[in-house]
Amino acid sequence: MTKDMVVPTIRFVAGAIEIIDQTLLPSQYRIISIKTIDELGDVIFRLAIRGAPALGLAGAYGLLLAVEEKWAGEGMHFFDEGGVDLSSFPRDVTLPEVREVVSRAADSIAGTRPTAVNLVWAIERLKRVAARQWASTEALLTALYREARLIHQEDLEMCRRLGRHGAVLLKDGEAVLTHCNAGGLATSGYGTALGVIFAAVEAGKRIQVFADETRPLLQGARLTAWECLQRGIAVTVVCEGAAGYVLSKGLVSAVIVGADRIAANGDTANKIGTLNLAVIASRYGVPFYVAAPSSTIDPAIVTGERIPIEMRPGSELRQCLGIDSTPPGAGAFNPAFDVTPNELISAIITEKGVFYRPFDDLIG
């Protein structure tokens, strides 16, 4: 892969959603083709596709998938990467029937990852488009397709823009700690926190990445390290508990993370363990940056206390890489995200610019 190539995290091809199975990286690079809403729910739940903006794309394409699943015959499809072809769409299907199928799919996908607001945000965008189309089923289906493609294109552009805004904050020669994976794999293909690092590197700065391992599913060790190496960026994996040591010894001069949902006041939900990093960064005077597209800001949620936190199965903790890591009978508590209060965040970087505390101008 060349420096300029983006990771094709998700595509809608010939009536199916194609994703990289992120549970297998870095040992295997395998593309899965998803043809049903049940399969989509399954890959989202088991984190084969993950990261808030990528989940938004999965949700948007999911509504197209529901139409394919219901009405495309064997070997046929209506939607492809290149456009829409409704010549084989059954003529007797009514607008309310299409709406019903889309709305059922929306309901079934929306709850799969409750913290990542982009999922609901993208689905709502398609639902709003559907609500405006009363001319014909063709007009409705074409409008849904266009909106899904637009969300995809916009996400790529937002990541590139926020990357350029954030890159200004990083100096040549800096070492930066990041958590989980907020790169191309978590978005349309460039990234948010990693997008800032990639943009700094593209601007000619030498940046060294410290990737927090990210328990329990190792998105930092597996995915962030993989993406950095794909781009020829030096990366060092540190175990979760090493963050205090790394920050106290000045081994990094900034922390940069992504976000799953940002409240109107700047409080930020991100992968569990982010709050720990923010507290330690504050203790040692290290800047703590959040990078996210504006689609991750939820203006309806005033403070982080109201952000729903996804609870994951304890089995993710009881086993590590297929081997039991706790004795039988031990309890396991597995919140997938935590909320970092705005006072611990030095700046929030979006495609619109860099926002500083008290984040009064974050919305709008």
Kindly tell me which of 137 and 270 has the beta carbon lying closer to ligand MRU.
270
**Mode of pairing for the β-strands spanning 347-350 and 353-356:** antiparallel
Q: Write the CB contacts of 68 (distance below 8 Å, at least 6 apart in sequence).
A: 15, 16, 35, 77, 78, 79
When CB distances to ligand MRU are compared, the closest residue is 258
Kindly tell me which of 15 and 53 has the beta carbon lying closer to ligand MRU.
53
Q: Which of 155, 212, 260, 338 is catalytic?
A: 260
- Residues that bind ligand MRU (rule: CB under 6 A) add up to a total of 18
- At residue 138, φ and ψ (nearest 5 deg) are -60, -45
The answer to whether residue 307 forms part of the interface with ligand MRU (CB under 6 A) is no
Question: Taking CB under 6 A as the rule, which mask of x and - marks residues 313-342 in contact with ligand MRU?
Answer: -----------------------x------
- For residue 361, count other CB atoms closer than 10 A to its CB: 10
Among 186, 211, 238, 264, binds ligand MRU (CB under 6 A): 186
Question: Taking CB under 6 A as the rule, which mask of x and - marks residues 121-160 in contact with ligand MRU?
Answer: ----------------------------------------
CB of 152 to ligand MRU, least distance (A): 15
Kindly tell me which of 133 and 187 has the beta carbon lying closer to ligand MRU.
187
Alpha helix (H) ranges present in 18-173?
Answer: 37-45, 52-71, 95-110, 117-132, 137-167
Q: How far apart are CA 171 and CA 112, in angstroms?
A: 39
Nearest to 158 by CA among 189, 119, 137, 135: 189
If you search the block for the tokens 């219901």, which residue do you land on? 70
- At residue 216, φ and ψ (nearest 5 deg) are -95, -10
Cβ atoms of 134 and 95 closer than 8 Å: yes
Window contacting ligand MRU (CB under 6 A); options: 7-15, 33-41, 179-187, 301-309: 179-187
* Cis ω for the linkage preceding 358 (within 30 of 0): yes
CB of 170 to ligand MRU, least distance (A): 17
364 token code pair: 């709008």
Question: Taking CB under 6 A as the rule, which mask of x and - marks residues 54-93 in contact with ligand MRU?
Answer: ----------------------------------------
Q: Write the CB contacts of 83 (distance below 8 Å, at least 6 apart in sequence).
A: 145
Q: How far apart are CA 56 and CA 60, in angstroms?
A: 6
The answer to whether residue 215 forms part of the interface with ligand MRU (CB under 6 A) is no
200 token code pair: 């700094």
The answer to whether residue 184 forms part of the interface with ligand MRU (CB under 6 A) is no
At 107, the amino acid letter reads D
* Cis ω for the linkage preceding 328 (within 30 of 0): no
Specify whether 4 is catalytic: no
How much of the chain is helix, strand and coil, in % rounded to 5? 40, 20, 40
Among 69, 147, 155, 260, binds ligand MRU (CB under 6 A): 260
The answer to whether residue 348 forms part of the interface with ligand MRU (CB under 6 A) is no
Nearest to 141 by CA among 189, 77, 221, 74: 77
The answer to whether residue 219 forms part of the interface with ligand MRU (CB under 6 A) is yes
The answer to whether residue 50 forms part of the interface with ligand MRU (CB under 6 A) is yes
Kindly tell me which of 77 and 215 has the beta carbon lying closer to ligand MRU.
215
**Mode of pairing for the β-strands spanning 79-80 and 83-84:** antiparallel
The answer to whether residue 51 forms part of the interface with ligand MRU (CB under 6 A) is yes
CB of 293 to ligand MRU, least distance (A): 8
Kindly tell me which of 15 and 51 has the beta carbon lying closer to ligand MRU.
51
Window contacting ligand MRU (CB under 6 A); options: 50-58, 137-145, 203-211, 239-247: 50-58
Q: Active-site residues: which are they?
A: 260
Residues found near ligand MRU in the complex (CB under 6 A): 47, 50-53, 116, 180, 182, 186-187, 192, 219, 258-260, 270-271, 336
